[in-house]
Amino acid sequence: MIETHKNYHGKHLLTVFFASILFATLGMSMNQVFAMGDAPSTCPNRYDGPIMSFLINNGSNTFDPIANPGVTFNVNTASSYDVTFVIHTSNMSSQNNTNPGTTWYHDDVFAFADGHCVPDSKITTILPNQDVTLNRTLTNPHPGYYSQSVFFATFSTLSNPVTYNVQWIDSSSAPQNLQAMAASSSKITLSWTAPVNNGGSEITGYQIERSTDGGSTWSTVDENTGSTSTTYSDTGLNPNTSYTYRVSAINGVSTSSPSNTATASTPSDVTVPSSPTELAVDAISSSQINLSWTAPANDGGSAITGYDVERSLDNGNTWYTVISNTGSDNAAYNDTGLSQGTSYTYRVSAINSVGTSSPSNTASATTSTSTSGIVLNNVQSTSGATTLSSNRIMLSDFDVGTGNNRLLVVGVSADQSDVNSVTFGGMHLTKKVGSFYNNDAEFWYLKNPTGNGAIVVTMNGQTSAVVGAYSFSGVNQTNPMPTKAVRHNINPNSPTISITTKFANDWVLDLTSIYGDSTLGSSTCTQQWDVNMPSAITGASSSKIVPTPGVVNCKWTASSADFWDDVAIEIRASQ
């Protein structure tokens, strides 16, 4: 056997002649075996055998070089990695006995071949047909970063060793020339130069930190941008505030030291918003007009917090405040308690932290004069996730209103389950229509409800759900919902449904459910609720008064195309 060290430690030649009886036992001719440390012949009563398993852990991932010969992984030059491998000993030792002995393997983890008696060259505790598990923590044999090829082999697997590759990588040098510039009262843009030295591994992203006390304390804006771009926009900032930044580079093993710091201050030029646009109004009964509009194109550098709604009885000569601040950025409002057969003109102004915008365009509508038709007494909605203990969603206090021939309609949109039951004040509702192809959408109803009570929706399983309720008077009690429609899609798009009504002066109710990462808007029927639960469900409902029988189309525009279910019903007037 010839043992030779690799060139970066010089050349050494050792020739050992095995007795002819060993050749006969092994049935093979000896090849060169590279080893410092322990030679195989120095291991007492040696048991040879293959490496049965070999696992590598570099602190973040585990690798199997037997299943993936030559696998490559990264390790920080200042760190280490662990190997765990199992040698299965033969039934007979090299001395043709089964007495306690040793086993042997060699490797080149220190950049030269090194032999190892196990447990060592003097202790004999290894037995035949035994799994011997070995654990080692390995460090960088050279300073700096480089690519290292490593093998592990036993005496019986010299020609087929376990091999893998280690990329020893430094942290990159720090980014340079960081600059910060205020782009608005709520945004600062950063730019910098990539590190001169990437540490031997490509830059994969940057960590962005900011300070509001000149660099004494730091908070992380973005743990990892996941991009090699050397620009970044920090948004949602406060006006008239000084911010200090630093940036660190991320490569395959670690995060660099920070760049230089850079400071910028947001301006205080926050203004009132621009005006809302596209105000539209719709008289839906003798006592209610619904408004919708488009939010201002410019919020003035401060988020919209509500809207001022005004109305006029003399076509805009004199204005009265309906509500001075809705307290919501929802671009819709329902004006109730109006007089029948009366014309109302409206305008809307937006509110932010600075003040109130100039008004929108004006829009007018006239309430109906019919006293025998359908009247919408109340509409409410809520949302939430059910619990394992109850699987319930509740509208805690719902008033069905007054008037004759009342009808309560409850709509449920859910993502993971359908409805088991619905009750109002302990009275059970009846299911009218449902669709549960992609998401669940269902309408339930109760004739002639009275008073105030809790609407309790019990689902068949855990889910996120949006629940809404309508209460009407003036509804036919014999056949309150003569027509229904059901629809779902099989290709992502926006919800739409058509229903053909049978009677005059009826209402159409639409209910849709779509995945919660898609929001809904721009309903062609009158929006009654539109609730988004991100990453769960968006549930929305709209209505339309139908003076004469015919086809009614209710459509929504989704922020992103997705799968949905939609149901619609006709509510028949009692005339």
Query: For residue 333, which of 350, 319, 317, 318 has the smallest C-alpha distance?
Result: 350
> Alpha-carbon distance 21 to 1, whole Å?
15
CB 203 within 8 A of CB 195: yes
* pLDDT (0 to 100) of residue 372: 54
CB 548 within 8 A of CB 421: no
Confidence bin at 534 (pLDDT 50/70/90) = very high
- Res. 19: pLDDT tops 80: no
Bigger pLDDT: 148 or 252?
A: 148
Joined tokens for residue 302: 């401060």
* pLDDT (0 to 100) of residue 21: 32
> Alpha-carbon distance 331 to 345, whole Å?
17
* pLDDT (0 to 100) of residue 107: 94
Rounded to the nearest 5 percent, the helix, strand and coil shares of the chain are 5, 50, 45
* pLDDT (0 to 100) of residue 22: 35
The neighbouring-strand residues paired with 380 are 469
**Least confident interval from 140-144, 308-312, 497-501:** 140-144
Give this prediction's pTM: 0.43
* pLDDT (0 to 100) of residue 575: 65
pLDDT tens column, 24-72: 333 333 333 444 899 999 999 999 999 999 999 988 789 999 999 999 9
pLDDT tens column, 492-508: 999 999 999 998 889 99
* pLDDT (0 to 100) of residue 185: 80
Mean pLDDT, rounded, for 347-366: 94
- Res. 9: pLDDT tops 60: no
* pLDDT (0 to 100) of residue 17: 31
Cis omega (within 30 of 0) on the bond before 119?
A: yes
Mean pLDDT, rounded, for 364-387: 84
Amino acid at 171: S
pLDDT tens column, 394-444: 998 999 998 889 999 999 999 999 999 999 999 999 999 999 999 999 999
- Res. 92: pLDDT tops 80: yes
* pLDDT (0 to 100) of residue 27: 33
- Res. 16: pLDDT tops 60: no
Domains of the chain: 2-169 (2.70.50), 176-265 (2.60.40.10), 277-366 (2.60.40.10), 377-571 (no CATH)
Confidence bin at 245 (pLDDT 50/70/90) = very high
pLDDT tens column, 63-90: 999 999 999 988 888 788 999 999 999 9
